[in-house]
Amino acid sequence: MPLQKVRNIGIAAHIDAGKTTVTERLLYFTGTTRKLGEVHDGAATMDFMKQEQERGITIASAAISCMWKDHHVNIIDTPGHVDFTVEVERSLRVIDGMIGLFCAVAGVEPQSETVWNQADRYKVPRIAFVNKMDRVGADFGECVAQMEKYLDANPVPMQVPIGAEEDFQGVIDIVERKAIVFKDMERLVIDVPEEFRQNCEDARRHLVEKLADFDEKIGDLYLNEQDVPAELIKSATRFATLNMIFTPVFCGAAYKNKGIQLLLDAILDYLPNPIDKGAVVGLDMKDESKSHARHPLASDPFCAIAFKLIHDPYVGQQTFIRIYSGKLESGMQVFNASKNEYERIGRILRIHAKEREEISSAGPGDIVALIGMKYTKTGDTLCDSSHPVVLESIYIPPAVIDLKVTPPTKKEEEKLGIALRKLAMEDPSFKVRVDDETNETIISGMGELHLEIIVDRLRTEFNVEAIVGEPSVAFRETITSEAENNTKFAKQTGGRGQYAHVVLRIEPNKGKGFEFVDHIKGGVIPQEFIPSIKKGIDAALDDGILAGFPVVDVRVVVIDGSYHDVDSSDMAFRTCGSICFKEAFRKAGPILLEPQMKIEINTPDDHIGEVIGDLNRRRGRVESMRRFRKGAQKVNGFVPLMEMFGYATQLRSITSGRANYSMEFSNYVPLQKDVQEKVLKQMQEKKLQKAKA
């Protein structure tokens, strides 16, 4: 199929805006499915995980292919819950265009802003669809106004709704000046009713004014008060969408099957094909100052990015890839430039949610799943070994919450380890580690729901009944001042001894992570031992010094030292580097950092006082308040994660269940001194209890 007829699109929005329902309708009207699956019945095609069906939410982004008017459309349905933000992140990395979905009643919600900003980061062209126009309180104009105010989206309506709430009958296509009325599965195209003609002309004039700003032809017609043909408007709107000049806005009610075919037309008319997106640029493997472009052509060298791994009980591990250039065939050998390993392509599958179709080859613009990959993980680049290139990887936000998991019996230990490894490979925002001191398995994730789903999947998919400990916060350790330390490590045993001498200076490195600098002059420490010092420091960073939490934002400079011709070794300098760093760290005003969350609470006016009072008690601070609909306000602020366990229950209690909130990781901030003392004391007590046990 020609690439002009391919669309790779994602659907992203706040939780409960209707993403999965819209996707179900897209699949139904394109003939991909023959019956409508509903989220509330647990029968949605795209929500095929047991946990998704039980909770009525999307957890994993699902890829599916369908056909509309001779065009091949790959759709990725993404989660709306902030705990699964990495799913949105990796989907946006590989799609060409996006549908931003909004609820006509709630308007722009917290997660809408997050996904919009993520799409900005990846420069993804998008159109907007205002869903749920049939619901009580639906207000198309207000939703568009909020998109302008909070997202800076420069929204331009392409349709005028005919009625709202229970009177919502259809839409007016302002480009073609036609009304489309929906009755059950039928749609009737009629002339614009008399009472809506003025609205239609006003909206069309607004669109033409926007287009006249950058299109000379339309500008001339507008200034001469001549009518602008529909085809000219469409081509200029496509240009505006692809270049992110403005966002075309459409509307409908997916649950009632209204507006979906028009949305499919808009996907073809306004969202980019792989050629519109153009070449991807990757770095040279040997020289990062050089870059190479890969064009969406079968004749260009093969290049693709892996963006998702799924463990399937029937076919094993599926690795989802987006192909940017070249041709992929089963049995072919490709090069993983991120891991410096070769992979043999086994089976290539085109995915229809949980259905799969085996294909022998795939080309530019295709999104396919590969079976039998050994080394490839999320964010890895696959390419032609004779033309290696590394594409920009995928941003993975840090994990902020820890849980202790233990198997019920010693026999189950290995089973638990295998299951957790598989889940960690699938989900890069999920981390697993073993505490060396306590020998406990610690899992870390993006939030309480994220880890709850992981534990649930252990039970249902891997038959491991894990015993779960209390959730705890993933603190970090850092320093507040500069310090120097001089360490000699000398050990004499029978035969050859161990000798190393290192002088380190450590400095705060706020927001820049760990930095290692070699300032050794005159060869006082031979060059081959410098990496050994760094390895020793790396081990100390992971294990922590104050309370066993990872160390961040520290700059370490090796300034002096000495060695022994016979006794110095790689191991001696590694040990010496670790001891020296730990001693310097203790001198440099060490502190704990805690994860601070960005929170947005939607609450009725009646409860605003109690909500803010409760937030203050949790060491939170309110940054802004705004009215988002009659009788209700949005409260934006920041709050430490450690104060937020069980918050959902408390918020329901103080607002009689009328408020809701969403929370996402913002940054790490220093822990208050009194709270730090309390945390360190608790950690000490836990260690003592374990030692006694």
What is the average pLDDT across 183-191? Answer: 84
**pLDDT number for residue 81:** 46
Q: How many other CB atoms sit within 10 Å of the CB of residue 252?
A: 30
Does pLDDT of 263 surpass 90? yes
- Return contacts of 449-457, CB within 8 angstroms, 24+ apart: 449/81, 449/83, 450/83, 450/84, 450/401, 451/401, 451/403, 453/51, 453/59, 454/423, 454/427, 454/430, 455/403, 455/405, 456/51, 457/49, 457/51, 457/423
Q: Which contiguous run of DSSP H or E holds residue 199?
A: helix 197-212
Whether 379 has a pLDDT exceeding 50, the answer reads yes
φ, ψ at 469 (rounded to 5°): -85, -175
Helix (H) and strand (E) counts in the chain: 17, 37
d(CA 594, CA 133): 42
Class of residue 571 by CB neighbours under 10 A (exposed 0-12, middle 13-18, buried 19+) = middle
Report pLDDT for 42: 40
Q: With bands split at pLDDT 50, 70 and 90, how would you rate the model's confidence at 110? A: low
Nearest CA to 481 out of 584, 596, 594 is that of 584
pLDDT mean across residues, the chain: 84
Query: Can you tell me which residue has the tokens 């480009």?
Result: 175
The mean pLDDT of 87-112, rounded to a whole number, is 81
Average pLDDT over residues 645-673: 82
pLDDT at 506 over 70: yes
Q: Most confidently modeled of 215-219, 409-413, 630-634?
A: 215-219
Residue type, 276: D
Which of 61-75, 114-128, 246-260 tops mean pLDDT?
246-260
Relative orientation angle of helices 85-94 and 110-121, to the nearest 10 degrees: 30
Could you give the percent of the chain with pLDDT greater than 70?
Answer: 89
- In this structure, of 208-217, 313-322, 363-372, 592-601, the range with the lowest mean pLDDT score is 313-322
pLDDT given for residue 47 in this prediction: 37
Q: How far apart are the first and last CA of the chain?
A: 66
Quote the CA–CA distance of 91 and 394 in Å, as a whole number.
10
3-class state of residue 368 by DSSP: strand
Q: Which two tokens stand for residue 104?
A: 């006509």
Rounded average pLDDT over 400-404: 78
CA dist 73 to 189, 289, 337, 359, Å? Answer: 25, 36, 29, 17
pLDDT at 82 over 50: no
From CA 331, how far away is CA 284, in angstroms rounded? 26
115 phi/psi in degrees, rounded to 5: -70, -35
Going by the DSSP 8-state scheme, the letter that residue 73 receives in this structure is E
pLDDT for the residue numbered 633: 86
The amino acid that residue 287 corresponds to is D
How high is the pLDDT of residue 85? Answer: 58
Question: Cβ neighbours of residue 465 under 8 Å, at least 6 residues apart?
Answer: 408, 412, 458, 459
At residue 190, the 3 state secondary structure works out as strand
Q: How many CA atoms lie within 13 A of 161 on its CB side?
A: 28
Structure-token pair, residue 504: 């380190």
pLDDT score of 485: 94
CA nearest neighbour of 372 among 319, 427, 424, 335: 319
Give me the amino acid identity at 231.
E
CA distances from 437 to 446, 590, 681 (A): 25, 21, 17
Spatial separation of the C-alpha atoms in residues 659 and 245, rounded to whole Å: 36
Give Cα 162 distance to the centre of its chain.
36
Find out whether 539 and 578 touch, Cβ atoms under 8 Å.
yes
Q: Cβ distance 375 to 415 under 8 Å?
A: no
pTM over 0.75: no
Q: For residue range 201-234, list pLDDT tens digits in order.
A: 999 999 999 999 998 999 999 898 899 999 999 9
| Lowest model confidence (mean pLDDT) among 181-190, 444-453, 485-494 | 444-453
CA dist 44 and 11 (Å) reads 15
Q: In the predicted model, what is the mean pLDDT of residues 598-627?
A: 90
528-532 LR contacts (CB < 8 Å, sep 24+): 528/570, 529/500, 529/563, 529/568, 529/570, 529/573, 530/558, 532/570, 532/571, 532/573, 532/574, 532/577
Backbone angles phi, psi at 497, to 5 degrees: -95, -170
pLDDT, tens digit, for every residue of 155-167? Answer: 999 999 998 888 8
DSSP 258: B
More confident residue, 130 or 290: 130
**Spatial contact of 25 and 260, defined as CB atoms under 8 Å apart:** yes
Note the pLDDT of residue 354.
55
Distance (Å, whole) CA 667 – CA 638: 10
> In whole angstroms, how far apart are CA 55 and each of 15, 84, 595?
12, 14, 27
Nearest by Cα to 642 from 457, 401, 427: 401
Distance of CA 482 to the CA centre of its chain: 36
The arithmetic mean of pLDDT across residues 18-35, rounded, is 76
Summarised one tens digit per residue, pLDDT across range 532-556 is: 999 999 999 988 888 888 999 999 9
Taking the CB of residue 25, how many other CB atoms lie within 10 A of it?
25
Closest alpha carbon to 428 in 262, 308, 560: 308
Counting other chains too, the contacts that 239-242 makes at CB distance below 8 Å and 24 or more residues apart are 239/214, 239/215, 240/210, 240/211, 240/214, 241/125, 241/126, 241/127, 241/270, 241/271, 242/125, 242/272, 242/276
Task: State pLDDT tens for residues 459-496.
Answer: 887 888 888 877 678 899 999 999 999 999 988 766 67
pLDDT tens readout for residues 346-359? 888 887 655 678 88
